Structure 1
């Protein structure tokens, strides 16, 4: 039987018993015409009836809480239960807020983790690149320490000219002659390698021939070292072509310098040398290609000495001009004459 059913039955029984007793008391008082507190018998009977009803409710309450643990908990512990429920609700709200904060913190940590992982990946890539560069550098250092370095990667081995055009066989012969000439020059330096010093891959040789077949004009042919090469090793090389363009027409002025009167011959020689250095720099900038020694041309010192002596003898300030001796192309060399203009 459920708690509610027990309460209802108990209330009915207790109410009936108390009502019956109250009725007996009321009848007894009515027959005897008793009075309470100087009230009339009729009013006394009403008072007894009211008191009986109150006693019904009181006895019902006392009996219910006496015999039923659930009733005592429901009636006497209600306020305490409400307080506990309120406290629990507050704890739940606080827990929910804490959970929200934890979720937000978790999201922030996840974002930070993703950012750190991205940085870590970038750092790993950088480390891999650095390790590759370090290994390459270590190999080059090791190579350099093991023997004398003949060529560095990208060095010019030789510079020559070739006439481009549709004659395929002529181009093949010309490029082979260039390789043979570079081979001979290296062998005269004491380098001996079985099968020749210069090695150009067959497919690169064919590509070079095809490239020149579709061109017109005279081209500069540079043999370029494909890697660092030690003395006595075979030299892997590749071709580089550039049209041999005219840089300075014959007689064109390349540079000039004002030389005041009264300078010593030694000072005048220094001025001439400084002018020639400036002219060489201008020529390189204009596109003249140096040979494999790094030179683009030179003058005998005797010519400089005679020119300084002539300027000194004139006893006047002059403008010294450097002009192209003839047409000068990219292949060089830089051949010049001097002109003096008295002021």
Structure 2
């Protein structure tokens, strides 16, 4: 029972020391401390070696403190061997004496008949010899007992030595495992350091974006202050305008008479580019340098310039004329977004309405991370209807409601709508008519779903497919 308690105590003490050593090595590695002018990694290895040595030392100390036999076996092994050798020499001497005595006894018995006259003296000598023989036999028995005890002690020492060697081998294996775990932990720490560096880089980029937003907010606040000033000026003009109302009232009649002419002129107006109209669009990714970001922005601006020239048809345009204008703050903000290395959807929008022939068109860049919004086959919206009880116009109204709901949900999910039309896509009208006519072939109530046949990202556009189901079974597709 004492042996089991001793083994359990050694195991618990070894585990506790190994845990303390591991935590101490981890803290030394994380703090990057250095001992004896060693590198942090070598210092951590030194701590591990010292911990292993402490485990071995504590194990031997406990064994020596508890087992006196083990101490004697380890520290007095040479003395015991010398005693054994001396006992073997004494045993050999006693055996020689015994053989000599037995020879003498045999000779005495052989010559017994011849030495009757010397019987008294011989008897005395015989008694003395017998006494010596008894003493020799007692000494021989003692030597045999000591020899057996020595053999038993030697067997115990050998058994304890084998146990100790097994424990040392196990501790060495645990030390090797601990070293491997330490190397794995060091590799994981290096990976964590790399991840921390990447996060710090992203945080720096976020700080730059935050600074750009703060600059934009300051600009907007300045614009708001200017707007307030303009509002005050307008309020000042309000009194003056009221005095002019009577004059304008007299002209109203004449304007109403010519309203049809004016409306016709408006319908034939010369606005060629509307505010928010997309002049260039595309997706960029893997931007890892300012040079690549600059090249991508210049390509978008060239595309916007070409489309603006086609739409606005300015006169006497030269190849070197810029045609489009963009603020430096907008370019810097767009470049900072692209330098994050993510995939972005970029659009160049017209900042205002422009009449045909104008050669200076202000544009505003717009960028957002081009993330996956809808997986292929995702259902966007659903309606229920019974085509057999509805007219074509009623069916069309319900499908228009389905399209409107799908459009709104797509915008809410993050798909970019067209700034002018406010839609994320258009459904082919011919396919819609075919779908409505085909519904007439299926009587009864059914469920119409709008799904996306392919993945939809932020940049859009979103193409829809109409799917009709009855009793959870697809009966018709269109799109």
Which TM-score tier does this pair reach, normalised by the shorter chain?
A: 0.5 to 0.7
CA distance in 1, matches of 2:271, 2:391: 45
Q: Which has the higher contact order (CA 8 A, sep 6+)?
A: 1
1:262, CA displacement in angstroms? Answer: 2.6
CA distance in 2, matches of 1:170, 1:321: 43
Corresponding residue to 2:346 among 221, 224, 235 = 221
Runs of at least 5 residues in structure 2 that lack an aligned partner in the other structure: 1-226, 242-265, 472-479
- Normalized per residue, the structure richer in strand is 1
1:227, CA displacement in angstroms? Answer: 5.7
Match of 2:413 in 1: 286
Classify 1:207/1:281 alpha carbon distance in 2 versus 1 (closer, same or farther; 3 Å). Answer: closer
Residue 468 of structure 2 is aligned to residue 340 of structure 1: yes
CA distance in 2, matches of 1:203, 1:127: 24
- Quote the RMSD (CA, aligned, Å): 3.3
Match of 2:437 in 1: 309
CA distance in 2, matches of 1:154, 1:130: 29
Q: Is the 8 A contact 1:191 1:197 kept in 2?
A: no
CA distance in 1, matches of 2:396, 2:372: 30
Q: Is the 8 A contact 1:158 1:291 kept in 2?
A: no
SS of aligned partner of 2:343? strand
Deviation string 1:237-262 (CA, Å, 9 cap, x unpaired) is 33232111222111111011101243
Residue 257 of structure 2 is aligned to residue 131 of structure 1: no
Deviation string 1:40-60 (CA, Å, 9 cap, x unpaired) is xxxxxxxxxxxxxxxxxxxxx
> Larger C-alpha radius of gyration, 1 or 2?
1
Aligned residues: 209
1:210, CA displacement in angstroms? Answer: 3.7
Match of 1:275 in 2: 402
Match of 2:385 in 1: 259
- Normalized per residue, the structure richer in helix is 2
CA distance in 1, matches of 2:365, 2:393: 45
Deviation string 1:125-181 (CA, Å, 9 cap, x unpaired) is 97764216889xx9xxxxxx9x95566776654433222521332222211111111
TM-score by length of 1: 0.52
Q: Is the 8 A contact 2:276 2:350 kept in 1?
A: yes
Deviation string 1:1-21 (CA, Å, 9 cap, x unpaired) is xxxxxxxxxxxxxxxxxxxxx
CA distance in 2, matches of 1:181, 1:299: 27
Q: Is the 8 A contact 2:350 2:364 kept in 1?
A: yes
Alignment of 1:118-267 (within 5 A): 129-131=231-233, 157-192=279-314, 193-194=317-318, 195-202=321-328, 204-213=330-339, 215-226=340-351, 229-231=354-356, 232-260=358-386, 261-267=388-394
1:306, CA displacement in angstroms? Answer: 1.9
Runs of at least 5 residues in structure 1 that lack an aligned partner in the other structure: 1-124, 139-144
